[in-house]
Amino acid sequence: MRRPAVGVFDSGFGGLTVLKALLQLVTDADYVYFGDTARLPYGSKSVETVARYAVQAAHYLESHGAQMLVIACNTATALALDRITSAARVPVVGVVEPGASAAGLATRNRKIVVVGTEATVSSHAYRKALEARGLQAREKACPLLVPLVEEGWVDHPVTEQVARIYLGEAFSDGFHDADTIVLGCTHYPLLKPLLARVTPGHVKIVDSAESTAREVANRIQQLVAEAEGEERRRVPRLKFFATDSTEKFQRLGQRFLGHPIEGVEHVDLKE
């Protein structure tokens, strides 16, 4: 049996941080990545529209052999995971539950700060997932961080100052002693060194990209076991699809993936 294929979906580039974590943790699978770059950002769109786009992408990934889907987009996970799961014919993993679960394991005083985009924070998906685990949560929207990351300013003084302001507000008013912060946006792992400098020293940083990769690793073992007969390639095969400029995807995407991206195919999903 051939090696299992994992489909990874995002509205753009941020999900490549999830793919990066998967490539480090699960080498016995191949990967198909779909970036809906022509229709981002998802954060300004209705739940109905996000669900429709995400289900289209899920079906496209299934048609390219995906045996598991990773919704590597906090907005799509927060707004449409149930719709995607019911429409898909394969197992689906989102980024919110693994991030909340990892935060629950990391915290000592059960007080968590979540940083994310306006859409993710407005959905309260992380707060609900954390409160369901008996944890206190404060969510803080940090809308300027995504464009700064995409500009490549991951260690820029402007980005550091912006992050200090956001986190100063997040850790105020009864949450100054929160001991864990969840990165509820897949762009934010690129800012981890900077965020480690501007968060209080006692705070643990939970990266939902890494947490999601660990969840996939746990769930994919059976598929990997079924493929034991195949030659033991150590390097996964990668395919990339984007709905907008493939050149831009390659140029920007390598910042998130950590190495050059080859052979991106353009796809036009019809409404």
Q: What is the mean pLDDT of residues 123-143?
A: 98
Q: Are 108 and 177 in contact (CB under 8 A)?
A: no
Closest CA relative to residue 120, chosen from 14, 232, 242, 258: 14
Instruction: Assess whether 160 and 130 both reside in one domain.
Output: yes
Percent of the chain with pLDDT over 70: 96
The C-alpha angle 75, 43, 20, rounded to 5 degrees, equals: 45
Instruction: Assess whether 166 and 221 both reside in one domain.
Output: no
Q: Are 80 and 51 in contact (CB under 8 A)?
A: yes
Instruction: Assess whether 46 and 58 both reside in one domain.
Output: yes
Q: Answer whether residue 181 is part of any domain.
A: yes
Q: Is the pLDDT of residue 196 over 90?
A: yes
Instruction: Assess whether 101 and 190 both reside in one domain.
Output: yes
Report the greatest alpha carbon distance in the chain.
Answer: 57
Number of domains in the chain: 2
pLDDT level of residue 77 (50, 70, 90 thresholds): very high
Residue type, 183: L
**DSSP β-bridge partners for residue 68:** 6
Long-range CB contact pairs, 251-255, < 8 A, 24+: 252/13, 252/150, 253/13, 253/16, 253/35, 255/13, 255/152, 255/154, 255/190
pLDDT the model gives residue 230: 55
Instruction: Assess whether 85 and 110 both reside in one domain.
Output: no
User: Catalytic residue at 73?
Assistant: yes
Q: Which of 170, 193, 208 is the last residue of a domain?
A: 208
Residue found under tokens 């995409």: 150
Distance of alpha carbon 163 from alpha carbon 144, whole angstroms: 9
Q: Answer whether residue 271 is part of any domain.
A: no
Q: Which of 158, 181, 208 is the last residue of a domain?
A: 208
pLDDT the model gives residue 270: 74
Q: Which of 162, 178, 208 is the last residue of a domain?
A: 208
pLDDT-wise least confident of 40-49, 161-170, 177-186, 197-206: 40-49
Q: Answer whether residue 21 is part of any domain.
A: yes
User: Catalytic residue at 142?
Assistant: no
pLDDT-wise least confident of 74-88, 171-185, 215-229, 252-266: 215-229
Distance of alpha carbon 97 from alpha carbon 95, whole angstroms: 6
pLDDT the model gives residue 221: 79
pLDDT tens sequence across 210-226: 999 999 999 987 777 77
**CA-to-CA dists, residue 220 to 17, 70, 71, 100, 240, angstroms:** 19, 11, 15, 20, 21
CATH number, residue 189: 3.40.50.1860
Instruction: Assess whether 75 and 17 both reside in one domain.
Output: yes
Distance of alpha carbon 131 from alpha carbon 138, whole angstroms: 10
Instruction: Assess whether 127 and 142 both reside in one domain.
Output: yes
Q: What is the mean pLDDT of residues 123-134?
A: 98
Active-site position among 19, 32, 66, 73 = 73
pLDDT the model gives residue 229: 57
What are the tokens at 33?
A: 């990545």
Give me the chain's average pLDDT, please.
94
Instruction: Assess whether 169 and 187 both reside in one domain.
Output: yes
Which domain covers residue 113, as residue numbers?
Answer: 96-208
Distance of alpha carbon 219 from alpha carbon 68, whole angstroms: 9
Instruction: Assess whether 100 and 186 both reside in one domain.
Output: yes
The three-class DSSP label of residue 225 is: helix
Residue found under tokens 């007080």: 111
Instruction: Assess whether 182 and 165 both reside in one domain.
Output: yes
Instruction: Assess whether 130 and 154 both reside in one domain.
Output: yes
**CA 219 to chain centroid:** 17
pLDDT level of residue 271 (50, 70, 90 thresholds): low
pLDDT tens sequence across 226-250: 766 555 666 899 999 999 999 999 9
pLDDT the model gives residue 44: 86
Residue type, 226: E
pLDDT the model gives residue 227: 67
pLDDT the model gives residue 224: 74
The neighbour count for residue 59, using CB atoms within 10 Å, is: 17
Residue found under tokens 């897949």: 186
Instruction: Assess whether 203 and 217 both reside in one domain.
Output: no
Active-site position among 29, 57, 130, 185 = 185
Q: Answer whether residue 128 is part of any domain.
A: yes
